[in-house]
A = this chain, B = another copy of it.
């Protein structure tokens, strides 16, 4: 298919990613599926690097997910191999072998054990993985490793993405500055619990794997697990957080709740949120970024469920694409969520203007600002369901002709 135009929602400013001590990377054109572009990323970590991950809950996971699930518990990593073009999903014993062979080759190049190599793949499902093409490029990739290829790394893992997704933050732990860099990809099969979404985050802080795991899980729930493009959940979603411990000073922390980690936690969550928003902004065919905030639900969980049902409703998403403030469809979506909600206390605001209250339309509300808001790039919807104090916010995009163009064409 033709190259897609860059999403109109793409961030206008690029973030610069500084080097992270103890982390190097290289990308190669291995031709796994795409031609004329880099499609394999090798990341190398210094000894002592800790790692934690969050993986898809899809019950038909790809072979790389099985591999990560087996090796993440050790909590250490020396390398990561990612390819775009073939997801190595539904590939049976051959897929598992492809993982083992790739890890073995990467381990040989980096001088470590295969169990210290993590793997991720994105692309077409059900086709045998041409892992030989990856393996044969790993020695050259090893020779090209550099601390300064973050942009290239982010571009290498793209599939239908229209822009590379990167983010960087500086935090401090007990006065010591540390850096956090992250890259991500993903634009379809994006839904709660990790859709085809890959993200790799690296910090030079020294943090034990269980601390990383706790921080990452919390951060992912409020970022990647709070976005949806099309309700479809990928078989390959992977978010990994690496800590090289090669920052200026080693600092000891008591656990994820240590007050010394407050700034790090905030900055990490901010970075994850930033990357997740970039994923939604690159949602297939997206022309509008939509924020849906639900309040007054029976619990936070109920609020998130209601918000997700609104976000995933094809009728709501097409109305937004049509710039129609059709809040009746929001009422419908709340009602189909299966969560407790009081029809006769329901309130809805669009762009800050209350259009419905106590179960009926607000008589004579000013339509002009609502209409103007619907024509903008960022749509804001607030719903109070009138039964409790649970609240949650999720982000999605509209459903346009572009989504159909991409997905009736692209085999993913």
Contacts and interface: CB of A to CB of B under 8 A. Distances in A.
B314 A346 contact: no
A404 B321 contact: yes
A409 interface: yes
A322 B409 contact: yes
Contacts of A411: 319, 324, 326, 328
A250 B126 CA distance: 60
Contacts of A32: none
A360 B315 contact: no
A47 interface: no
Interface of A: 58-61, 87, 89-92, 94, 124-128, 188-189, 191, 230-235, 312-315, 318-319, 321-322, 324, 326-329, 331-338, 341, 343-344, 346, 356, 358-361, 399-401, 403-404, 407-409, 411-412
Q: Is the interface of A mostly helix, strand, loop or mixed?
A: loop
Given A328-B412, A408-B322, A360 B94 contact: yes
A367 to B, nearest CB: 13
B125 A329 contact: yes
A234 B331 CA distance: 10
Contacts of A230: 314-315
Contacts of A403: 314, 318
Given A231-B312, A319-B411, A324-B408, 6 more contacts: A59-B335, A60-B331, A189-B332, A318-B404, A321-B404, A322-B407
Nearest to A360: B92
Contact of A327 (B58, B126, B331): B126
A253 to B, nearest CB: 36
17 contacts: A59-B338, A90-B343, A92-B359, A92-B360, A125-B331, A126-B327, A232-B313, A235-B331, A318-B404, A318-B408, A322-B407, A322-B408, A324-B408, A324-B411, A400-B408, A401-B401, A404-B404
Contacts of A233: 332, 335-336
Nearest to A327: B126
Nearest to A91: B360
Given A90-B356, A233-B335, A408 B328 contact: no
Given A59-B343, A90-B361, A324-B411, A332 B404 contact: no
Contacts of A321: 404, 408
Given A59-B334, A407-B322, A125 B232 contact: no
A321 B59 CA distance: 26
A189 B276 CA distance: 29
A312 to B, nearest CB: 8
A87 B230 CA distance: 28
A318 B407 contact: yes
Given A230-B315, A344-B92, A58 B335 contact: yes
Interface centre among A313, A315, A341 (most CB of B within 10 A): A315
Contacts of A92: 344, 358-360
